[in-house]
Structure 1
């Protein structure tokens, strides 16, 4: 028999909880990270890039010549060259005065004098200065999460480090009675993918004193606890948070994730996530990501708009997380408010139905947060 979990009597609207978390937050100061460490972080301001390549280079192996010296050359009318041309390989700087590269087969060297067998145009076989990156370009957009292609640009520009905004996240894992750590690992990996610098701490016990010892916001930008946020006898995270700072709300009008809590220690937002994976993930999406996005200066995340393949029915007064699968050019709702691990793994995107909505009719175009590329 499934028992209904007892919840706080009054649930705080999700938008109220988020507003309290974001109040007064500004993007963190940029730091310069090595390129591999910067992957997944949010780009900050950086100086304009230098031209790449810095000079004209050969785009292919061949002979470097001046195009005007080849006018009229053909296999039927070979054109003698006054001197043997320079041989270049792809990536070599172009010799002074040369503006094209021709294939070796376009030159006959069997006789006493080299002969051109084909014409060429200026720039043929040549990668011009600034062909990859123009002078003073700013191709890595501020506020965008850095991916492999951004790092390719940085390497092409000769950069070893790149400026990013990387919020520091302190993750406090409260041990479950069964020793289950799957949720903590899920949130740890999600935090890394969000570009956060994560420090993981485990409380010694589930009691409020042990948890309070680990709730230290002195060296972080956001503090997350996992587990112990419900209303059972051993769920002491809320008591510990109230002892160390300000408890803003316990019980959020969010499904799943209603037993989450939000608070502050000074200017540092604190979010208590439930211990169940689906509830923790929903609260992560709805409560934690807005905080990380604000700290990191992230521009609006990528969304994809597609019509709904079937209607979404939602309860008024509760914001509900919906899992979506892309199917035949539409969003197919997989789950509303109840998220199994199997469906989480299957989903391509998610969206949040506001608490004031009863849902959406089939065919309604919806913007969804992507969970995977492609």
Structure 2
């Protein structure tokens, strides 16, 4: 299988387009309180104006503005108080001209009232009230529908529902919402050297870090995960892949994608009749990555090197899987920003290079004080605490502290 490596931009576009063509996830209706982080399956719209009536934003007096003309501390206007309104009350009558209504924060304005005077500008009277300031029409009123108008789209289909979305939906009386069923992703770590964490260590063996890390990252984003591992045997890998594809919506493998004697994933994909989307990416790390569709499902085959697997998971697999899960495309992509390096990296970059890093406050720091050894594809510990990748374009020389660089922030 040849590998005409494509650009990172083309690789991402290919997998996003393939994900968008897959069948939409099936919807399910769940309690609103359980919906944080879930993806709206259809537009969620306002059922009513919010607020549903004109209301007072403060404690004071609802008035006819014309009755306050000329009021001051030196020449107060005195009015009878004919009603008292608390939040939750419904006014029983209109407010007559020449009268005041004692009103509390959140209470509805009675018909006829067109303003509210804060109690600090009055004598706080209960039967009569002295007004120490004039009020303009519509002053200190929160109007019906000012926050959300009936029929407005609160969360378009594909939106990841946040606590704020849930609060607005609760204000509309939603007790349940329809969301996309979470996708299940099969994680298959390949390699005869791998041991399951917890098994006794043996010479020549290593524990399966990739499977655990990749599964944890996908669970963090709301996916269900089934994780397995197997030896470097093409028949075993084929069987495991077929098994996972019967139960899962997508599969991600690690290991076996390069040109070694036991790198069997290209052969397995060919044997299974997969349609290749990406056959290698022109970048470091993770250049051997494969992406395909198989039986209407996405398959990503990542490098066995831990950082290479982590980087390509973030750059390609996660955006495509989130798109397949129902998210709007713009929320699937790593956010791009420009930051200033606090330390450097001494190697030139013949091809596109991605370095793990931590971005904060417009600055970005490479782990290990820029040590090139820390950025080896096989080094895993330097990923701890990182929240982004620094993109160094092909043909760049060493990067120095103070340089501005493009940063890809991990999707949340």
TM-score, normalising length: structure 2: 0.69
Aligned to 1:270: 299
How far residue 271 of structure 1 moved from its aligned partner, in angstroms, is 0.9
Equivalences, count: 361
**1:258-298 Cα distance to aligned partner (Å, 9 max, x none):** 45433331332211234553232112023313423543332
Compared CA separation, residues 90 and 347, structure 1 to 2 (3 A): same
In the other structure, the counterpart of 1:116 is 130
Alignment of 1:1-374 (within 5 A): 12-13=5-6, 15=8, 18=12, 21-22=15-16, 24-26=18-20, 29=24, 31=27, 34=30, 35=32, 38-41=35-38, 46=43, 48-49=45-46, 50-88=48-86, 89-104=104-119, 106-109=122-125, 114-119=128-133, 120-138=135-153, 140=155, 145-161=160-176, 168-174=183-189, 176-179=194-197, 180-195=207-222, 197-203=223-229, 207-215=233-241, 216-218=244-246, 220-227=248-255, 229=257, 240-246=268-274, 248=276, 253-258=282-287, 260-295=289-324, 296-299=327-330, 301-308=334-341, 313-317=347-351, 319-326=352-359, 329-334=362-367, 338=376, 340-353=379-392, 356-358=394-396, 365-371=404-410
1:263 is paired with a residue of what secondary structure?
Answer: strand
> Which segments of 5 or more consecutive residues in structure 1 lack a partner in the other structure?
1-7
Instruction: Write the distance in 1 (CA, Å) between the matches of 2:214 and 2:267.
Output: 22
Are the aligned partners of 1:348 and 1:370 in contact in 2 as well (CA < 8 Å)? yes
- Aligned equivalents of 2:17 and 2:3: distance in 1? 22
Evaluate the alpha carbon distance shift between residue 288 and residue 214 of structure 1 in structure 2; reply closer, same or farther with a 3 A threshold. Answer: same
Cα gap change, 1:297/1:219 in structure 2, threshold over 3 Å: closer, same or farther? Answer: farther
Q: Could you tell me the TM-score, scaled by structure 1's length?
A: 0.74
Q: Tell me what 2:97 maps to.
A: none
Question: CA offsets, 1:311-362, max 9 Å, x none?
Answer: 6644435x422223447844444457526444323434213445x4445765
Give 1:130 deviation, angstroms: 1.8
Distance 1:284 1:80 in 2: 71
Q: Which runs of 5+ in 2 are unaligned?
A: 87-103, 198-206
Whole-angstrom CA distance in 2 between matches of 1:200 and 1:266: 18
Work out whether residues 41 and 179 of structure 2, in 8 Å CA contact, stay in contact via their aligned partners in 1: yes
Cα deviation, 1:75-130, whole Å, max 9, x if unaligned, reads 444433244332333333222222334445524548xx513233334444432112
8 A contact 2:188–2:251 mirrored in 1? no
Aligned match of 2:96: none
Residue 224 (structure 1) shift = 1.4
Q: Would you say the 8 A contact 1:59–1:127 is kept in 2?
A: yes
- Looking at structure 2, the residues matched to 328 and 53 of structure 1 have their Cα atoms a distance apart, in angstroms, of 37
Distance across 2 between alignment mates of 1:67 and 1:257: 70
For 2:189 and 2:33, the matched residues in 1 are separated by: 31
Aligned residues of 2:189 and 2:210 also touching (Cα < 8 A): no
Tell me the SS of whatever aligns to 2:109: coil
State the secondary structure of the residue aligned to 2:406: strand
Q: CA deviation at 1:53?
A: 0.7
CA distance in 2 between partners of 1:343 and 1:372 (Å): 19
Alpha-carbon deviations, 1:137-173, whole Å to 9, x = none?
Answer: 3454666544333333333343345566667242224
1:48, CA displacement in angstroms?
A: 4.2
The SS at the match of 1:86 is: strand
